[in-house]
A and B are shown apart, each in its own frame.
Chain A
Amino acid sequence: MILNKRIIRELKENWVRYGALAFLIIFSLGLVVSMAGSTDVVNYTIDTNNEKNQLEDGEFSVYVPLTKNQQMELEKMGAKTEAAFYVDLPGAEKSVLRVFKNRNNINTIALEEGSLADQIGEIALEKHYAEKHGIRVGQSIEVGQKNYQVTGTGTVPDYSNVVQNVSDVLADLKQFSIGFVAEAEFNQLLAGDSNIEYNYSYKLDGNLTATELKEKLVDLDFDKTKVANKYMQEIINTIEKGKNDLSGGVKDLADGTQKLANGTSALQQGSNELADGAGSLANGTDQLSSGLGELTNSNATLNKAADDVFQGMIAQVNSEFENIGMTVTVTGDNYSSVIDSLIKTIDGSDANTVEVLNTLNTLNTMKAQLDSYKAFKEGLRAYTNGVESAYSGSAELSAGADSLYQGSVTLANGANTLSNGSASLNSGMGEFKSQVTNFINENMDYQYVNLITFLEAGDNQRITSCKSDAAINKNSALIAGAIIITLIAYMISVFVIHTIDKESAVIGALYSMGYVKKELLRHFMILPMLIVAASAILGTGLGFVLIGENIKENVAYYSYPGYAMVFPPYLLIYGVLLPVMIAVLVNYLVINSKLSMEPLKLLRREKKQHQLANIDLKEMGFINRYRIRQLLREIRGNITMFWGLFIAILLMVFGFSIYGSVSAYVNNVASDVEYNYLYLLKYPMETAPNDATKAYTESLTADLYLTGGEMDVTVQGIDDKNPYFDFPLDGEKNDVIISDSVANKFGYKVGDEITLSDNLEDRNYNFRIKEVVNFASGLYVFMDIKEMRELFGQEDDYYNTLMSDHELDIEAGRIATVITVDKMVAAARQMFTMMYGLVITILGASVLLFAIVMYLLVKMMIDKSTFSISLIKVFGYNEREIKKLYLGTTFYTVALSTLIAIPVSKMIINKIYPYMVSNVSAGMNATMAPQSYLIMVAIILSTYVIVNFMIGRHLKKISLVEILKERE
């Protein structure tokens, strides 16, 4: 169609306008596509390498290494395991290097350079660590006071986020990383260092679920004597000692019984031979007395041991209850009635499932076991009482020679009873002994579970955070991109409408010659399509080119092999097709409605006058009246400008909010945390150092609505006298005080009932929130230490955390983690540095968008008013006055956009920001410092002034003869 020739000319005439729009599209699509594309590249790289390097399905750690047989048993069930033991050793420049041995089947090492270590004295390092410390392959590094030759650098899939502890907020690749040595070397390390983590990686073959594996691991038998960790050994020894005492007591008991039997038979004999003489009696009583004395001596041990066993059984029953999710507590006195009532309740319920039957079974067995043991314990008590009275009887016996005769009658009776009792006691003794031994072996083993941690890959941030980190950026970028494209498409349509308006009589003429709407619509759609399509292709191309730049930060922070470019089809669709489709839709709607006007109206240049345009403005001064009329005449342009500025301001608020939130985080971490050192202990000392404050810390998980997943929270039991916290802890039993960080992250409020779960133990804990306090670092829930000990079934003086204002002298092997305020602040700072680039990009983009939108639309409105401007120039208005009249209008729109957009944007950002930082394990608010608002207003105003200056020059160019050219 010949008409289309005008498109090129239109483009040429308005190249600034269309060029600027095309630039905006290219620019924003470039950003968005490179962001999304780098996410895809990261995901693709991670996924393919995870597959290639056999990423684990999960990992677990134990006290005692699994035996070959156990590993084989697990494999038969469907879980392949590979040991990934490690030791944390001091590395280069005060860093910590976690040393593993080379891997064979799971989480294998992807070498970037060099080769694996295969000799003693060799090591392969994680690549970023090597780079940050300037260590090249072939050079040497001192690890744990030993020199190693570096044979290679690389990565492993289970440490793509190289954090020391799974709950760490950020990685610091210079401070902590990992290395791999040959098996022989690792065995030497094992021999030397007792602080080894017995960690295993597993892969499931589909026949076994993670939960089943975990249950199996909990049940797995293990040899306590092989526990290598000396601190763990201490704990085991204490328990074992109790068991030995009990066995010893039983042995003493047996011996004593034997003696008793001997003594009683002698006594019997003696009493029978009473007449035979006092000499023989004296012998018998002596022997009896010493036998009874010996028995009495062991009475206390015996009773205490029996009591301990019984309490152990009760504790066992209680933990069974917890395991099946019941919240009852039984004691030695009430167990019978409690279990009975439980049985009644369960029996009375209609549910007759296997589960119920099982539960009933368990309960009955439990009760029978407790009953029989209690009976035994009571028998024992009766027996020891008997021994004691017999002993005192025997003393009396030897003392009262004068009452010999009278006594002989009593003695004969007593001796007979005694003889009977001791006979049956002696016969029951063998059975009792074996029963006690069985009990000790069966039940007291059950008290330690070998499993320490169990972590599925999906919950392991070392594995997941690289991908999820990227995913959030991607989604928000894609959404932002679509919004901006829609805005630009709409702006283009506004310009097309402007052209149509300008040429409305021509269009009317074409209609009257027989052109149909379809033909003209098609014609007017071509330009927007052309611009959008061309810039979308360019923008998408640019985006792919920029991926390398965009991905840099990710590549530098996470540890994975070199990436390969991918061109995901959806991104091509998003980058090219979507903008064109948006442009088609928007332009079709707008242009179609414009072209639907009757030809005659077009010919007469009749415009759809907005109702508002007829508003009564009599009260106002001339200038204001004129401005407002102009504003209303150009209502479409002004509304478009409003939205454009709105989006620009939204971006600006977003940028400042990220800045504000992260810098507030850095400041709060520094100011909220009062202690300087926090030690989390794996194996607390019996007595804590005097210069430290004790606390009790447990890690639980809470549901995170933001991701639909879970996130770890730290529950910390603290003393009322804890000098580092100043809130009172004397609440109800399950009352907790949460940090604002937790409140923020999980959306909790004072008074809420919350549930935290212990995934290892499959237990849920319910708490009520009493107060929210300022504590920015991490995700902390505080409670009274006494209540916490009770809740988690710990001793009255238990602790596992020490807080101090100075460094403590603690054996390294006891420590799980040391948190220092300096480290926390450094981590927060690092987050700040990482966000900085993003903030600058967003702010730059927003200013650009602001300026371009404003310039183009103001210029368009001036173009439309060329005739009137020329006219008032002819009337004698000077430039300043004309500027006032026409650019003043813009000021209203800019002011209105700013006034509305800032608070509304802030509200929008407040809502979506939590989702953007949902994987950061700290609650962050989209805060903006007051000065940020000022800076923003300053940016807006200066952009306004600059644009106005440019438009002003344009106004100057409108000549007086313009009025003569216009033919109407």
Chain B
Amino acid sequence: MFIEVNDIKKSYGEGGSYVQVLKGVTTGIEKGQICAILGPSGSGKSTLLNTIGGLDTIDSGSIKISNIEITKLNAKQLSLYRRNYLGFIFQFYNLVPNLTVKENIQVCEYLTKSPLDINELLEILGLTEHQKKFPSQLSGGQQQRCAIARALIKNPELLLCDEPTGALDYQASREILMLIEKINQKYGTTMLIVTHNTAIKEMVHRVIKIKDGQISEDYANSVLKLASQLEW
């Protein structure tokens, strides 16, 4: 297993404001798979993703990525782990506003010794003609594509996406999903996608449904739909 999550529990707050967000989550994901994490708002999806990404700590349990127990890493080692393994994509892109598309990608190119070819990536993501533009000059979809390129440039083994299409319209969302699919095929990147777009579950290898901090459903698809064929 590439990702092994074992009985993780996570709570926030103390006393009156105490909430248990993850109540013992156990699962494993194979390398190269796309996995969708579905569930209602507030169910703990982002929390799960963040703990796997080493951005958030857990109260108990264990998370192993590529056999590294990341819950035992200190802050510095966690940065290194993220630097070496992870790419992140957020709902609101989080691009550096006063850097161009290409420069935004280069920001993360800096983090690895063996980056992907930036022009090829621009091409794949359809950003070649926009590469000199600033984020404010782009549409939401274009910005998200730029964010994807930024996450991919260092060729991460694991790509974590938190609602990547959450702020996008139908068409743009579909394009993003098609790209995700394409990248998975081309680079073999393992992907965890948090979403409340249930249509996605048909195009991914694995579906994990979370409800109230626990896995309510966890299954693999034997037949995958192409992203271009999804409808919602």
Interface residues of A (CB under 8 A from B): 1-3, 5-6, 9-10, 13, 503, 505-506, 508-516, 598-600, 603, 965, 967-968
Known: A2-B110, A6-B99. A505 touches B79 (CB 8 A): no
A516 to B80 CA separation, bound complex (whole angstroms):
8
Chain A residues closer than 8 Å to B95, beta-carbon distance: 506
Q: Is the CB of B79 within 8 A of A511?
A: yes
In the bound assembly, the distance between CA atoms of A444 and B11 in angstroms comes to: 107
Q: Are B87 and A513 in contact (CB under 8 A)?
A: yes
Check A6 against B98 for contact (C-beta < 8 Å). Answer: yes
Tell me whether A10 and B92 are in contact in the complex, defined as CB-CB below 8 angstroms, given that A5-B103, A516-B79 are known contacts. no
In the complex, whether B111 has a CB less than 8 A from a CB of chain A is yes
Q: A603-B94, A968-B92 in contact; A514/B99 too (CB < 8 A)?
A: no
Given A510-B107, A603-B55, output 4 extra A-B contacts at Cβ < 8 Å. Answer: A506-B97, A512-B82, A600-B55, A967-B92
- Among B79, B94, B96, the most chain A Cβ lie within 10 Å of the Cβ of B94
Q: In the complex the two chains form, is B92's CB within 8 Å of A505's CB?
A: yes
Question: What distance in Å separates the Cβ of B170 from its nearest Cβ neighbour in chain A?
Answer: 18
The reply to whether B151 and A2 form a contact with Cβ atoms under 8 Å apart is no
With both beta carbons as reference points, the residue of chain B lying nearest to A2 in the complex is identified as B106
> What is the minimal beta-carbon distance from B4 to any residue of chain A, in angstroms?
21
Tell me if A5 and B55 are in contact (CB < 8 A). no
State whether the Cβ of B90 lies closer than 8 Å to any Cβ in chain A. yes
User: Known contacts A512-B55, A512-B88, A514-B82: does B98 contact A13 (CB below 8 Å)?
Assistant: yes
Q: Restricting to B23-79, which residues have a CB under 8 Å from any CB of A?
A: 50, 53, 55-56, 76, 79
A965 vs B96: C-alpha distance when bound (angstroms): 15
Interface of chain B residues 107 through 125 with chain A (CB within 8 A)? 107-111
Whole-angstrom distance between the alpha carbons of A511 and B79 in the complex?
7
Instruction: Report the bound CA distance from A13 to B111 in whole Å.
Output: 27
Which of A5, A10, A515 meets B79, CB within 8 Å? A515
Which residue of B97, B111, B167 is within 8 Å of A513 (Cβ)?
B111
Structural contact, A503 and B88, CB atoms closer than 8 A: no
A512 to B107, CA, bound (A): 13
- Report Cα–Cα, A2/B102, bound state, in Å: 10
B22 contacts partner chain A, Cβ-Cβ < 8 Å? no
CB of B25 to closest CB in A, whole Å: 18
How many angstroms between the C-alpha atoms of A513 and B50 in the bound complex?
12
Instruction: Please tell me which one of the listed residues B76, B103, B108, B109 contacts residue A516 in the complex, with CB atoms under 8 A apart.
Output: B76
Q: B84 within 8 Å of A by Cβ? A: yes
**B132 close to A (CB within 8 Å):** no
**Which of A1, A506, A509 has a CB less than 8 Å from the CB of B110?**
A1
Chain A residues near B53: list those with CB within 8 A: 512
Q: Please tell me if the beta carbons of A515 and B96 are within 8 angstroms of each other in the complex.
A: no
B136 proximity list for chain A (CB < 8 A): 965
B225 at the A interface (CB under 8 A): no
- For A968, list chain B residues within 8 Å (CB): 92
**In the bound complex, do residue A5 and residue B99 qualify as a contact, i.e. CB atoms below 8 Å apart?**
yes
Tell me whether B96 and A506 are in contact (CB under 8 A): yes
The 3 closest A-B pairs by CB, nearest first: A514-B83, A509-B94, A9-B98
| A598 and B150 alpha carbons, distance in the complex (Å) | 21
Q: Which residues of B contact A5 (CB under 8 A)?
A: 99, 103
- What is the CB-to-nearest-CB distance from B173 to chain A, in angstroms, rounded to a whole number? 16
B86 within 8 A of A: yes
Considering only residues 127-182 of chain B, those with a C-beta below 8 Å from chain A are 136, 150-151, 154, 167
Q: A2-B106, A5-B103, A600-B50 are in contact. Are A514 and B97 (CB under 8 A)?
A: no
Contact A513 B96 (CB under 8 A): no
Contact of A514 with B79 in the complex, beta carbons under 8 Å: yes
| A514→B84 contact, CB < 8 A | yes
* CB pair B88 A509 closer than 8 Å: yes
Which B residues lie within 8 Å of A3 (CB)? 96, 99, 107, 110
Chain B residues with CB below 8 A from A599, complex form: 55
Q: A1-B110, A511-B79 are in contact. Are A603 and B103 (CB under 8 A)?
A: no
**A503 pairs with B97, CB closer than 8 A:** yes
Q: Which residues of A contact B103 (CB under 8 A)?
A: 2, 5-6
> Which single member of B76, B87, B94, B109 contacts A506 (CB below 8 Å)?
B94
Interface hub of B50, B53, B88 (most chain A Cβ within 10 A):
B88
Please determine whether A513 and B90 come into contact, CB atoms closer than 8 angstroms: no
Chain A residues within an 8 Å CB radius of B106: 2
Closest B residue to A8 using CB positions: B98
Contacts of B109 in A (CB 8 A): 2
Which chain B residues lie closer than 8 Å to A510 at the CB level? 96, 107
In the assembled complex, which residues on chain B have CB atoms less than 8 Å from the CB atom of A967? 92, 167
Contacts of A6 in B (CB 8 A): 96, 98-99, 103
> Which chain A residue shows the least CB distance to B147?
A509
Docked CA distance A508–B88 (Å): 11
The CA of A598 and the CA of B56, in the complex, are separated in Å by 9
Measured between alpha carbons, how far is A510 from B106 in the docked complex, in Å? 12
Report the bound CA distance from A403 to B92 in whole Å: 154
Cα separation A1 to B110 with both chains bound (whole Å) = 7
Instruction: Contact check, A508 vs B94: say whether CB atoms are below 8 A apart.
Output: yes
What is the distance, in angstroms, from B69's C-beta to the closest C-beta of chain A? 18
Highest count of chain B CB atoms <10 Å: which of A5, A13, A506, A516? A506
Would A503 and B86 count as touching, CB distance under 8 A? no
C-alpha spacing A508/B96, complex, angstroms: 11
Knowing A9-B98, A968-B92, the reply to whether A513 touches B55 (Cβ < 8 A) is no
Query: Contact at A513–B86, with CB atoms within 8 Å?
Result: yes
Residues of B with C-beta under 8 A to A505: 90, 92, 94
Complex CA distance for A506 and B98, rounded to whole angstroms? 11
Q: How far is the CA of A603 from the CA of B91 in the complex (A)?
A: 11
A9 to B151, alpha carbons, bound, how many Å? 23
Interface centre among A3, A13, A503, A599 (most CB of B within 10 A): A599
A509–B76 alpha-carbon span in the complex (Å)? 16
Cβ-neighbour of A603 out of B87, B90, B98, B110 (below 8 A): B90
Can you spell out 24 A-B residue pairs with CB atoms less than 8 angstroms apart?
Answer: A2-B99, A3-B99, A3-B110, A6-B96, A9-B98, A10-B98, A13-B98, A503-B96, A503-B97, A505-B90, A505-B94, A509-B90, A509-B94, A511-B79, A511-B82, A512-B82, A512-B86, A513-B86, A513-B87, A513-B150, A600-B55, A603-B90, A603-B94, A967-B92
Task: Chain A residues near B80: list those with CB within 8 A.
Answer: 514
* Chain A: CB-nearest residue to B53: A512
State in angstroms the CA–CA spacing of A516 and B79 once bound together.
6
Report A260 CB to chain B, min CB distance, Å: 122
Q: Give CA–CA (A702, B168) in the complex, Å.
A: 85
CA distance A600 to B50 in the complex (A): 8
CB distance from A592 to the nearest CB of B (A): 14
Interface centre among A10, A598, A600 (most CB of B within 10 A): A600
State how many angstroms separate the Cβ of B232 from the closest Cβ of chain A: 23
Chain B residues within an 8 Å CB radius of A511: 79, 82
Q: Contact: B94 with A514, CB < 8 Å? A: no
Residues of chain B within 8 A (CB-CB) of A506 are 94-97
Residue of B nearest to A13 (CB): B98
Q: How far is the CB of A924 from chain B (nearest CB, A)?
A: 54
A866 → B minimal CB distance (Å): 14
Rounded to whole angstroms, the CA-CA distance of A429 and B225 in the bound complex is 151
- What's the Cα separation between A909 and B15 when bound, in Å? 53
Interface pair B107/A2, CB less than 8 Å apart: yes
Task: Report Cα–Cα, A226/B109, bound state, in Å.
Answer: 99
In the complex formed, the residue of A with least CB distance to B95 is A506
* Residue in chain A with minimal CB distance to B82: A514
**Residue in A5, A506, A514 whose Cβ sees the most chain B Cβ within 10 Å:** A514
Chain A's closest residue to B87 (CB) is A513
> How far is A599 from B88 in the complex, measured between Cα atoms in Å?
12
Chain B residue at minimum C-beta to C-beta distance from A514:
B83
- A20 CB, nearest partner CB in chain B, Å: 20
Residues of A within 8 A of B97 (CB): 503, 506
| Complex: A9 Cα to B56 Cα, angstroms | 33
> Chain B nearest CB: distance from A204 CB in Å?
68
B92 touching A513, Cβ below 8 Å: no
Q: Is the CB of A513 within 8 A of B82?
A: yes
A510 and chain B: residue at smallest CB distance? B107
Please indicate the chain A residues that have their CB under 8 angstroms from the CB of B84 in the complex: 514
* B contact residues around A512 at 8 Å (CB): 53, 55, 82, 86, 88
Across the interface, name the chain A residue whose C-beta is closest to B108. Answer: A513
